[in-house]
C-alpha cells in the first residue's frame, strides 16, 4: 500500500497520513497502496469519503466484487469515513493519481515505482495473494499456449508467432515475459508476427483458449484463480519453459 502526499489539511480534517496508518492497521490484506498527492482537490467525494483506486487487471466487475467487502469492513471499522472502491484500468491509474481522483491506490510494483518517481507516492503495505491454502507476497509471469499445440513447447518456438499480453505496464502480464523472450533472442516488438494487448488477464487466457493467438502471457496464479471460478481448466493450457521455485 502506498500513500500520496497532500498539503496540510484544513482544521477539523483528519490528516491523510493518520488515516492511512489507521487503514493499514485495519487492513488484513493489501498489495501496493498509494496515498495520492493532491494539489487541487477534485470535486465529487462526499465528506469523509476515502476513495481506493484498484488496478482492475481482471476487469472492473471482478475488482469491485473482490474489494468492496474490504471497503465495507473499513467503513464499519472507521465510521467517521466511508470507503469506496474505484476500479481503474492500466491507462486510468496515473491520471487518477495525478488529478487526485483517489486517496489510495492498489497497483503492481512496476506501476508503483513509476508513481513514486513521478508523483511522490509512498508505499504503506504489501498484499499477500492467496490461492487455496497458499499465500505469497511475490508473483511472476507465465507464457501460455493451448495444450494441444504440439508445435509450441518452448519459448524459443514463439519466434514469428502471435502473442497476446495484458498491457505494456503489466508486470506479470507483459514485462516479465518481455525479459524471458529477450533471453531467447526474440524481441517481442520485432520478432513476433503480432503483438497485441487485451487490457485484462482473463481476456488473454480466453483468447489463447479460443486459438485467436498462438500464445499469451499472464500473471502467475491467474489460471489457478480462473479454474477455481470454473471458467477454464488448467489442462487446457501449457506453460512454456516452466520453472519451479521452492520459495514461490
| pLDDT tens-digit series, residues 147-181 | 999 999 999 999 999 999 999 999 999 999 999 99
Given a contact cutoff of 8 angstroms between Cβ atoms, the answer to whether 111 and 55 are in contact is: yes
| pLDDT band at residue 29 using 50, 70 and 90 as cut-offs | very low
Least confident of 18-27, 30-39, 68-77: 18-27
62-104 confidence digits (pLDDT tens): 999 999 999 999 999 999 999 999 999 999 999 999 999 999 9
Shared fold status for 2-127 and 138-239? yes
Per the CB < 8 A criterion, the answer to whether 222 and 239 are in contact is: no
Give the CA radius of gyration of the chain.
Answer: 20
CATH class entry, domain 2-127: alpha beta
Q: Write down the domain spans for the chain.
A: 2-127, 138-239
Please report the pLDDT score of residue 109 as a whole number.
Answer: 83
Global pTM value: 0.75
Q: Higher confidence at residue 3 or residue 22? A: 3
Residue with cell 467525494: 45
**Superfamily of domain 138-239 in the CATH hierarchy:** Periplasmic binding protein-like II (3.40.190.10)
Amino acid at each position: 500500500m502506498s500513500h500520496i502526499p497532500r498539503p496540510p489539511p484544513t482544521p477539523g480534517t483528519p490528516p491523510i497520513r493518520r488515516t492511512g496508518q489507521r487503514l493499514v492497521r485495519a487492513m488484513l490484506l493489501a498489495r501496493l497502496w498509494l496515498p495520492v498527492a493532491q494539489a487541487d482537490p477534485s470535486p465529487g467525494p462526499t465528506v469523509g469519503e476515502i476513495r481506493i483506486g484498484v488496478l482492475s487487471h481482471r476487469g472492473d466487475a471482478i475488482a469491485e466484487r473482490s474489494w468492496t467487502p474490504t471497503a465495507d469492513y473499513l467503513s464499519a471499522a472507521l465510521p467517521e469515513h466511508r470507503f469506496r472502491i474505484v476500479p481503474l484500468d492500466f491507462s486510468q491509474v496515473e491520471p487518477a493519481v495525478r488529478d487526485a481522483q483517489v486517496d489510495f491506490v492498489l497497483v503492481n510494483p512496476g506501476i508503483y515505482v513509476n508513481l513514486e518517481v513521478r508523483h511522490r507516492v509512498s508505499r504503506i503495505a504489501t498484499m499477500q495473494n492467496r490461492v487455496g491454502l497458499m499465500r505469497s507476497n511475490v508473483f511472476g509471469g507465465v507464457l501460455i499456449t493451448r495444450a494441444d499445440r504440439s508445435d509450441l513447447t518452448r519459448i524459443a518456438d514463439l519466434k514469428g508467432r502471435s502473442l497476446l499480453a495484458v498491457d505494456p505496464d503489466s508486470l506479470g502480464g507483459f514485462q516479465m515475459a518481455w525479459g524471458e523472450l529477450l533471453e531467447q533472442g526474440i524481441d517481442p516488438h520485432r520478432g513476433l508476427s503480432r503483438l497485441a494487448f487485451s487490457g485484462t488477464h482473463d481476456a488473454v487466457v480466453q483468447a489463447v483458449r479460443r486459438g485467436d493467438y498462438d500464445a499469451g502471457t499472464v500473471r502467475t496464479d491467474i489460471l489457478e484463480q480462473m479454474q477455481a471460478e470454473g471458467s477454464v481448466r488448467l489442462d487446457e493450457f501449457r506453460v512454456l519453459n516452466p520453472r519451479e521455485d521452492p520459495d514461490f
